[in-house]
């Protein structure tokens, strides 16, 4: 039997209810890799016929997690950033995404002066997923046509986040239309 989005959602709910922390998020990562092994799901959610851009596949009203499809026509390289009080699991579906992880060297976790050190770089290939916990600083770099599924702990439109300008040594609040 093929693993479906509905089965993923039910299993993710059970994992997050049983383990409200890194262990539950790691289980979501494993489950997302299982979902990405379903070619029919990948074709429908992020395949060639899927619309370009980002779209919500599912939002859990009780636990708050969101499943998003990212279909990227053009290459993009993000600055280092975090997801604030949310976590994220990125699951690569088509092409690849180069991921970098950073450690903040100053004692702060808010906007203002900031110094970062890159601690890890790797490539997410199709079928693989990575976990980025609460306040984890990371950057993504993907080519034209890269497509991935991202699960976030909350709708990031409502989460204050930071992006980092390494040249200027600054952490800057990401202003989202609905974040407060």
Residue-wise pLDDT tens digits, 96-137: 999 999 999 998 889 999 999 999 999 999 999 999 999 999
Please give the model's pTM, rounded to 2 decimal places.
0.94
pLDDT value at residue 179: 40
Domain extent at residue 88? 5-174
Q: Where are the beta strands (DSSP E) in 60-176?
A: 66-71, 76-77, 88-94, 97-104, 112-113, 116-124, 129-132, 137-142, 147-152, 161-165, 170-174
Rounded distance, CA 152 to CA 60, Å? 11
pLDDT value at residue 178: 45
Residue 50 resides in a domain: yes
β-pair type (147-152, 88-94): antiparallel
pLDDT value at residue 89: 98
Residue 128 resides in a domain: yes
**CATH number of the structural domain spanning residue 96:** 2.60.120.10
**By three-state DSSP, how is residue 54 classified?**
strand
Instruction: Report whether 46 contacts 93 (CB < 8 A).
Output: yes
Residue 180 resides in a domain: no
Residue 179 resides in a domain: no
Residue 142 resides in a domain: yes
Rounded distance, CA 120 to CA 102, Å? 7
Instruction: Report whether 139 contacts 132 (CB < 8 A).
Output: no
Domain count, the chain: 1
The first and second tokens of residue 175, run together, are: 């202003």
- In 3D space, the residue among 33, 31, 54, 35 whose CA is nearest the CA of residue 43 turns out to be 35
pLDDT in tens, 41-64: 999 999 999 999 999 999 999 999
Mean pLDDT of the chain: 95
Mean pLDDT of 23-27: 98
């Amino acid at each position: 039997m093929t693993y479906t989005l509905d089965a993923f959602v039910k299993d993710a709910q059970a994992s997050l209810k049983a383990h409200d922390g890194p262990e539950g998020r790691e289980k979501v990562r494993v489950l997302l890799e299982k979902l990405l092994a379903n070619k029919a799901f990948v074709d429908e959610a992020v395949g060639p016929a899927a619309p370009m851009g980002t779209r919500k596949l599912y939002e859990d009203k009780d636990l708050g997690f969101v499943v998003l499809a990212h279909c990227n026509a053009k290459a993009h390289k993000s600055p280092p950033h975090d997801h604030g009080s949310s976590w994220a699991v990125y699951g690569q579906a088509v092409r690849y995404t180069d991921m970098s992880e950073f450690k903040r060297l100053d004692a702060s976790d808010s906007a203002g002066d900031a110094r970062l050190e890159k601690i890890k770089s790797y490539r997410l290939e199709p079928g693989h997923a990575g976990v980025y916990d609460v306040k984890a600083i990371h950057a993504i770099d993907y080519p034209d046509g890269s497509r991935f599924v991202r699960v976030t702990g909350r709708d990031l439109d409502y989460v204050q986040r930071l992006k980092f300008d390494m040249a200027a040594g600054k952490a800057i609040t990401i202003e989202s239309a609905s974040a407060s």
